[in-house]
Amino acid sequence: GDAAAIGRDLEISYLTDKGPLPAVRGVDFALRRGRTLAVVGESGSGKSTLLRAVATLLPRGQALVSGGSLRIGTEEVSALSGAQVQALRRQHIGVVFQDAASALNPVMTVGAQLAEAITSGRRMSPAEVRDRSIALLKAVQIADPESRLDAWPHQFSGGMKQRIVIAIALAQEPELLLADEPTSALDVTIQQQILTLLRQMQKERDMAMMLVTHDLGLVARYADDVAVIYAGRIVETGPVEEVFRRPRHPYTRALAASTPKLRHGGGTRMLPAIDGEPPMLGQLPPGCAFAPRCARSGGRAVCTTRAPELTRCGKADVACHFPDETESLHAA
């Protein structure tokens, strides 16, 4: 119905010397119009891999969707030709990466880059292109847009560059907006402005958004749903209020506990930051991938032998043999 993208049992692998190694495994998700799904997890958990797959921008020859289904709009991506995938991406998908500076071409004016994104090969009158360019810059709240069209990227601050990247991403009025750490290169004030802008654009234009971040504080403020990913699998997912009020997976609890903004709710209980390291690609432990770092597992046999499936708990889905149903981290 209102899903702009759906993944089912999605597996994404990197082609390495040792053969294909899955970095994302058995992932189910839906990106619905008008909603933001945040994808959170430690470095190396597979967040960007998942986002790039949905963006149809996996590096060719290095990574591929090796299993499951990815549907964008009504299309099964694996059934499309290269040219069809490109057309699909152009029409339906806007992407914003962390590094705005490198997303922009330093030797093209902002106006020329906007024009390219707006026309994207079609013939349009210069006046129409100019009007739409100005409207896009206004939409991302760049002051005096008429005079900015002839400016070069280096004449803008980091936050302004990211606004221009967002304007370019919106040029084709996509249903799907994919943002990978869009503000982690920016200072805190600018970060909030950009995320507020993305959120406003997403609501106004009824887009579906995937927001990749490792900052749970941002998730609480800017997302509707959250998927917590560990070693390439979703370990907990559901509405943000549910997952944060009552994190049930020991990994989610540990992440939440290491996020000051969430911890400062009401309780003063301090939980330890997560000890240990996530597993390397191709070196997954048997059973639950989190078991070697999990205090709750206590080495129980089921945790080290059988991988837990996502199972409904309250309003969330949790992949844990012993989901934690005790009171929230910040009991009000």
Binding residues for ligand ATP, per CB under 6 A? 14, 16, 23, 41, 43-49, 62, 214, 281
Cβ closer to ligand ATP: 54 or 137?
A: 54
Contact 173, 1 (CB under 8 A): no
Cβ closer to ligand ATP: 145 or 232?
A: 232
How near is the Cβ of 49 to ligand ATP at its closest, in Å? 3
Taking CB within 5 to 8 Å according to partner kind, which of Mg ion, ligand ATP, none is near residue 158? none
Taking CB within 5 to 8 Å according to partner kind, which of ligand ATP, Mg ion, none is near residue 213? none
How near is the Cβ of 215 to ligand ATP at its closest, in Å? 10
Taking CB within 5 to 8 Å according to partner kind, which of Mg ion, ligand ATP, none is near residue 62? ligand ATP
Cβ closer to Mg ion: 13 or 48?
A: 48
Greatest Cα-to-Cα distance within the chain, rounded to the nearest angstrom? 69
Taking CB within 5 to 8 Å according to partner kind, which of ligand ATP, Mg ion, none is near residue 94? none
Taking CB within 5 to 8 Å according to partner kind, which of Mg ion, ligand ATP, none is near residue 16? ligand ATP
Q: How far is CA 160 from CA 25, 58, 103, 191, in A?
A: 36, 27, 13, 11
Structure tokens at 266: 């009401």
Q: Which residues bind Mg ion (CB under 5 A)?
A: 48
Q: Which has the closest alpha carbon to 227: 32, 30, 66? A: 30
**Torsion sign over Cα 114, 103, 164, 182:** positive
How near is the Cβ of 162 to ligand ATP at its closest, in Å? 17
Q: Which long-range contacts (CB under 8 A, 24 or more apart) does 296-300 make?
A: 296/250, 296/322, 296/324, 297/250, 297/321, 297/322
Cβ closer to ligand ATP: 66 or 141?
A: 66
Cβ closer to Mg ion: 98 or 133?
A: 98
How near is the Cβ of 130 to ligand ATP at its closest, in Å? 37
Residue 5's beta-bridge partner residues? 31, 72
Alpha-carbon gap, residue 75 to 73, rounded angstroms: 6
How near is the Cβ of 38 to ligand ATP at its closest, in Å? 13
Cβ closer to Mg ion: 175 or 180?
A: 180
Contact 77, 8 (CB under 8 A): no
Structure tokens at 16: 């390495």
Contact 296, 250 (CB under 8 A): yes
How near is the Cβ of 14 to ligand ATP at its closest, in Å? 4
